[in-house]
Amino acid sequence: IQSDVQDEISKTQREYFLREQMKAIRKELGEDDGSAELNELEEKIKAAGMSEEADEVSMKELDRLTRIPPQSPEYSVSRTYLDWLIDLPWSKSTKDRVDTVRAKKIMDEDHYGLDDVKERIIEYLAVRKLKAEISEDGKVKGPILCFAGPPGVGKTSLGRSIARAMGRDFVRISLGGVRDEAEIRGHRRTYIGALPGRIIQSLKKAGSNNPVFMLDEVDKVGADFRGDPSSALLEVLDPEQNFSFSDHYLEVPFDLSNVMFIATANLKDPIIPALRDRMEILDFTGYVEEEKIQIAKKFLIPKQMEENGLNKKDLKFTSGGIKELLESYTREAGVRNLDREIGNICRKVAREKVEGKTESTKVTKAEVLKYLGVQRFFSETTDRLSKPGVVVGLAWTSAGGDILFIEANKMPGKGKLTLTGHLGDVMKESAQAALSYVRANAEKLSIDPKFNESTDIHIHVPAGAIPKDGPSAGITIFTAIYSLLTDRAVKHTVAMTGEITLRGAVLPIGGLREKVTAAHRAGLREIILPHENKRNLEKIPKKILKDMKFHFVKEVSDVVDYAFPKK
C-alpha cells in the first residue's frame, strides 16, 4: 500500500514540477499567455462601462478565473460568463433623431396610411426633444406599444420603419410557439451549455442599449410545465420594473428602460390580462380599397417588377386592373394576397417578353381576367336579396370585415325555432330574443298574432363550415323574420348590424370600420347602425363616407322604415 501511495505522490509531484518549469520557460521567452489573457479581460471589463453591481460581479469572477487551471471545465464556463458580461451594451446607445418632420417623412416613404401609429411615434420624439432641452440626462421611458390587427397590414415592417426614422438599431424575436420561460429569462449557470434568454441575446446582437425591440406574435405564446413565458414578459414590459431586468444567467440587473418595445398580435383576447394592461394597444384595422390601390401603385407593383426583372416600359397597371384584382381575386384586410397576385401577373408578362410575344403590356380589367383566369369572388347580394326572408348582416373577422347573409324560412308546424350555420351560443340567444320581440309585438308590426301556433321558423346563416358568434346580428335576424312573415323583400342595397334587446332597443357594436368597409367592398350603399355608433364614423375613411348613406336607429321598429322599400 505504501509503495502504491508513494508512486502516486511521485507522479503528481513530477507533473507539478514540469508545469512550473513550463511556466518559467514561457515567462523567460515572454510567452505568458494566461496572464496576458487575464490582463486583456480586465481591460475589457473596465472599458465596458458596466453598472456598479455588474462591475463588482465581473471583477470577482475574474479573480476566481485566475485561480482555475485552464484545463478545468470550470474555466470555460467562467470565461463564457465574463465574455457575455463584457459584450453587452451597458453604456452604448445610439443618438435619437429628434427631427419630427424628417421622421414622419421616412415613415411615409415606407408605409401608406397608419396615421395613428405614426402620430404616436412623432409624439414620443417630440417629448424626447423637449426633455433633452431641459436637462442633458432627460430620460424618457421607452413606450411599450402593441400593434394589434389582421395579418398582412404591415405591423412588423412598420417596426423596422420606426427604427429607421428614429435612427435606432432594430431587433426582432418571434414568440410564436414559445413555451419555455427560460427562452425569455435564460438558464441558470448550473446547467451545462446555459445561455442568457432571448432578450439579452438580442441586445448583444443589436450592440446598443436603446434599440427598437420587436416582440412578434405575442398572442401566440404558449405555456406548459416549463413555465409561462407570458408571465416572464411582465417584468420586461413594465416601465416601473424593467430598469433592473434580471436574467437567470447573468444574475445582475440590466436596464431595459431605454428600449422601445413593440409587440405585435393578430388577436388581443389570447394575451393574458396582466400583460395586456402593461402595453399601449394600437389597433391596425384593414385597409380600404382606395388605400390598397395606392399601396399597390407605390410599393407592391415596383417591388414585384424589380423581383421579376421588368422595367416601367414592360408593364403598366391601370387603376381598373388593380380594382379588378381587389374585387375579384383578393378579399383580405391586408395586402399579402394582392402582392402574390401582382407577382403572378409579373411572372406571366416576363415569360411573354422572353418568348418575344410582347414588348409592352398594359394590365386592364380584361388583361387581369386573361392572366389569372376565373374570378374567385363575385358579388351576389342583388340576386339573393330579391326574395323575402333574406337580409345582409355585417361581421367582424380576424382578417377584417365581411358581409353575412341571414336567411329565414317558414313551414307548417307548432312554433319551433331551428337555428343552423355553425352558430355560437350568443348568436342563438340573439335569434331567440328577436323572435320573442316579434311575437310580443306582432299586432304593432302588422303580423298575425297567432302565427306561432301553426308555423315553424328556420334561420340559417350560410357558409356553414365557418363558426359564427356575437350579438351584433340581432337586428339582422329580426329583419329576416319580419321580412319572412310579412312577405316583403329587403332593399338590395341595405346592410345592417346592431345588438337587440328583448324590449326592442338597439345597442352599439364594435369593429365598425371593418364592417362598413366590407359593405362598401360588396357594393352595398346603405347601412343601418345603432344610434350610439354615430360618434365612431370619424374613424372611417372620407371616401367611404362620401359613397354611403347611414341610418341610425334607437329602436327595432325604426329598422323597418329604412330596410324596406316604401309601399
Cite the active site residues.
472, 515
The alpha-helical segments, DSSP class H, found in 308-364 are: 319-328, 336-354
Distances (CA, A) of 394 to 282, 397, 529: 23, 10, 10
Query: Is 156 within 8 Å of 172 (Cβ atoms)?
Result: yes
| Grid cell for residue 101 | 418632420
b vs e for 51-64, b when ≥16 Cβ sit within 10 Å of the residue's Cβ? eeebbebbeebbee
Nearest to 125 by CA among 109, 105, 111, 110: 105
Three-point CA angle 369, 374, 379, nearest 5° = 95
C-alpha 25/C-alpha 389 separation (Å) is 101
Helix (H) / strand (E) element for 146: namely strand 144-148
* Lookup result for grid cell 446555459: 194
| 425 CB-near residues (< 8 Å, 6+ apart) | 469
C-alpha 356/C-alpha 59 separation (Å) is 72
3-class secondary-structure state, position 377:
coil
Helix (H) / strand (E) element for 212: namely strand 212-216
Helix (H) / strand (E) element for 273: namely helix 273-277
| Grid cell for residue 24 | 518559467
C-alpha 283/C-alpha 274 separation (Å) is 19
3-class secondary-structure state, position 562:
helix
Contacts 24+ apart (CB under 8 A), 548-555: 548/516, 548/519, 548/520, 549/525, 550/526, 551/526, 551/527, 553/475, 553/498, 553/506, 553/528, 553/529, 554/505, 554/506, 554/530, 555/504, 555/505, 555/506
Q: Which amino acid is at 114?
A: L
| Grid cell for residue 423 | 352558430
Nearest to 204 by CA among 149, 144, 254, 164: 254
Helices and strands per DSSP (H, E), number in the chain: 23, 18
